[in-house]
Amino acid sequence: MSFLQLVQSRRSVRRFLDKPVDRALILQCVEAARLAPSAENVQPWRFLILDDPQIRQKFCDENFTGLYRVTRWAAQAPVLVALLAEKDLLANRIGKQITGIHYYLIDMGIAGEHFVLQAAELGLGTCWIGWFSPDKARRTLQLPTKYEIVSLLALGYSADEAVRPLKRKAQADICRFNSL
């Protein structure tokens, strides 16, 4: 499969088979993420993987409630990955002060998508999860203050039977050469 075919066939997965994911496969996804580029090569990422059913269940029970109940589907995923960023790295602080850009968030997005695409190549489904409370998740996971939780990923074997059409803006609507 070409890279473009892989990207065309990937979909977010929110329904999973009740089948564990081998840690070797999870670590292959981490490896793809580890090799991602980052601003000043600071590699701010840490991957906290919840694959223990009890720990995952506790996390889901405490975090996907109230306003965040719509994310309850993620409790079905055999693996949740917390994408953590090391905060206040000097290079990021200086960069942000000068340009106003939060480079670490770009870094985290790139690494997370490397993870997602490697998972897709391995036949694993994923979904980014932004709809949760970082403060609450931090308390559940008892994170040291130097880490910020940027996103979650659900990971597992897809239980989706039909492939949804890929809805994207047309290239002509999002790309211009030389002037907008």
Ligand X SMILES: Cc1cc2nc3c(=O)[nH]c(=O)nc-3n(C[C@H](O)[C@H](O)[C@H](O)COP(=O)(O)O)c2cc1C
Kindly state whether residue 144 participates in binding ligand X, applying the rule CB under 6 A: no
Q: Which residue's CB is nearer to ligand X, number 6 or number 166?
A: 166
Of 36-44, 93-101, 129-137, 139-147, the segment contacting ligand X by CB under 6 A is: 129-137
Kindly state whether residue 127 participates in binding ligand X, applying the rule CB under 6 A: yes
Q: Which residue's CB is nearer to ligand X, number 10 or number 91?
A: 10
Kindly state whether residue 14 participates in binding ligand X, applying the rule CB under 6 A: yes
SS (H, E, C) the chain: CCHHHHHHHCCECCCECCCCCCHHHHHHHHHHHHCCCCHHHCCCEEEEEECCHHHHHHHHHHHCCHHHHHHHHHHHCCEEEEEEEECCCHHHHHHHHHHCCCHHHHHHHHHHHHHHHHHHHCCCEEEEECCCCHHHHHHHHCCCCCEEEEEEEEEECECCCCCCCCCCCCHHHHCCCCCC
Of 8-16, 22-30, 47-55, 79-87, the segment contacting ligand X by CB under 6 A is: 8-16
Binding site for ligand X (CB under 6 A): 11-12, 14, 71, 127-131, 151, 166
